[in-house]
Amino acid sequence: MGIKVAESDEATGGVCEGLIRLVKISRFIAWPIGPILFAYPLIANDIPFGKTGILLLILLSVPFCLLLFGLNDIFDRNTDLANPRKRKEGFIHGVCLKESEYGKVGWICGAVASAIISVAFSTGKWQTVAAAVSLLGMAVVYSAPPLRLKSRPPLDSLANAAIIYLIIVFGYTYVDPGLFVPHGEFLQKTVPLLIGIVAIHLFSTIMDAEADKAAGIYTVATRIGKKKTAALSSGLLFFAVITIHTKNPFVLIYLVAATLSCLLYATKKGDGGAAKITVFQAISFVVFGAGAAMFTFFRG
């Protein structure tokens, strides 16, 4: 009897450990980003989510994060092993995947991709399907060879902005298939924000500059240096602030806060603290993104 209880406890512990591992891989801080971006067009246009919309919101949270970051970790293993930040295996910066985990993580990625495409097909809108396929395709080519855009600056930052953009387009096509090719007011509001996303990703390359350089990976930070990268990021963010067409205060506050944080790093003595600023920017994106969606909802 005691043996059976011990085996049961061990199995339970193994399941809990596996779930914690998946949470770390998925970077829980990013869970709300997909749903916020997808939901914004529905909230702005007073469109009910329906069962399909709610299902897509769920799939774009934890499942999509597992796909996006799981692929990233599979193809980043060699560089992650040389990265002190990744070796700590925290909930924010992810883990160093073991080779024995490749199969499980790969299976999860395939299942998530299949689920997102299947639900997109259920809408009956080819534009929504195309947006879903484009989003998943960008997630793959960002991390996986032979393209592996994340190792081709500045395509790495542009690819990050494209992923954000495609989630928004995914939501817009769910509202109105005619918005598959955005135009007019949508572009005026979105393009400056995407420039801001490019800037924030540029800044995020600073915290791994040493590890990337040692591993022979080229990023903007390894090519032009940390301070110049921070200065470039703050300049792009300032451009986004002065050109974006929005009355939503949360969007503006986020862009201003991100601009000031990059400028602070660019002008301060020493080159430490980039990881903390990057985490601050990520948390701010989630908080102010949720605020922007709620502002739109209550403003009607």
Is 281 contained in some domain?
yes
- Please, what is the Cα angle at 80 between 257 and 136, to 5 degrees? 70
Domain range for 52 is: 25-179
The pLDDT assigned to 202 comes to 93
Residue at a domain's end among 121, 152, 179:
179
The pLDDT assigned to 76 comes to 84
**Are residues 104 and 62 located together in one domain of the fold?**
yes
* Contact of 199 with 237, CB cutoff 8 Å: yes
Please name the residue ranges forming H helices in the chain.
2-26, 33-44, 50-59, 62-75, 77-81, 84-87, 102-122, 126-143, 155-175, 185-204, 209-214, 220-224, 226-243, 249-267, 274-299
**Are residues 128 and 68 located together in one domain of the fold?**
yes
Q: Which CATH number belongs to the domain containing residue 270 in this structure? A: 1.20.120
The more confidently predicted of residues 66 and 188 is 66
**Are residues 93 and 164 located together in one domain of the fold?**
yes
Under the banding of pLDDT at 50, 70 and 90, the label for residue 289 is confident
The pLDDT assigned to 166 comes to 93
Phi, psi of 265 (to 5 degrees): -65, -40
The residues, ordered by sequence, that sit 6+ positions from 49 with a Cβ below 8 Å of its Cβ are 39, 42, 57
- Nearest to 257, CA basis, from 228, 227, 285: 285
Under the banding of pLDDT at 50, 70 and 90, the label for residue 181 is low
- Residue 36 backbone zone (phi > 0: left; psi -120 to 50: alpha; other: beta): alpha
Under the banding of pLDDT at 50, 70 and 90, the label for residue 11 is very low
Rounded to a whole number of angstroms, the CA Rg of the chain reads 20
**Are residues 157 and 58 located together in one domain of the fold?**
yes
**Are residues 190 and 247 located together in one domain of the fold?**
yes
In angstroms, the CA 116 to CA 104 distance is 19
The pLDDT assigned to 9 comes to 44
Q: In the predicted model, what is the mean pLDDT of residues 8-35?
A: 79
**Are residues 65 and 106 located together in one domain of the fold?**
yes
Over the stretch 103-141, which tens digit does the pLDDT of each residue have? 999 999 999 999 999 999 999 999 999 999 999 999 999
Q: Is the pLDDT of residue 298 over 70?
A: yes
The pLDDT assigned to 43 comes to 81
The pLDDT assigned to 264 comes to 94
Residue at a domain's end among 179, 200, 216:
179
Q: In the predicted model, what is the mean pLDDT of residues 222-244?
A: 94
Is 8 contained in some domain?
no
**Are residues 166 and 230 located together in one domain of the fold?**
no
* Contact of 132 with 170, CB cutoff 8 Å: yes
Under the banding of pLDDT at 50, 70 and 90, the label for residue 8 is very low
Q: Which CATH number belongs to the domain containing residue 137 in this structure? A: 1.10.357.140
Tokens standing for 59?
Answer: 């799939």
Is 82 contained in some domain?
yes
Under the banding of pLDDT at 50, 70 and 90, the label for residue 142 is very high
Tokens standing for 13?
Answer: 């512990």
* Contact of 72 with 78, CB cutoff 8 Å: no
In angstroms, the CA 122 to CA 294 distance is 28
Give the number of domains in the chain. Answer: 2
Is 11 contained in some domain?
no
**Are residues 60 and 84 located together in one domain of the fold?**
yes
The pLDDT assigned to 81 comes to 67
Under the banding of pLDDT at 50, 70 and 90, the label for residue 175 is confident
**Are residues 35 and 156 located together in one domain of the fold?**
yes
For 164-177, b/e burial (b = at least 16 CB within 10 A) is: bbbbbbbbbbbbeb
The pLDDT assigned to 98 comes to 84
Is 213 contained in some domain?
yes
pTM: 0.83
Over the stretch 79-109, which tens digit does the pLDDT of each residue have? 766 666 665 666 667 788 888 899 999 999 9
Is 221 contained in some domain?
yes
The torsion angle over the Cα atoms of residues 114, 120, 124 and 129, rounded to 10 degrees, is: -90
In angstroms, the CA 43 to CA 174 distance is 12
**Are residues 106 and 236 located together in one domain of the fold?**
no
Is 271 contained in some domain?
yes
**Are residues 214 and 135 located together in one domain of the fold?**
no
The pLDDT assigned to 19 comes to 87
Tokens standing for 146?
Answer: 């032979």
Under the banding of pLDDT at 50, 70 and 90, the label for residue 5 is very low
Under the banding of pLDDT at 50, 70 and 90, the label for residue 3 is low
**Are residues 219 and 278 located together in one domain of the fold?**
yes
Residue at a domain's end among 126, 146, 179:
179
Q: In the predicted model, what is the mean pLDDT of residues 264-279?
A: 89
Q: Is 147 helix (H, G, I), strand (E, B) or coil?
A: coil
Is 6 contained in some domain?
no
Over the stretch 34-83, which tens digit does the pLDDT of each residue have? 999 898 888 877 788 889 999 999 999 999 999 999 999 998 877 766 66
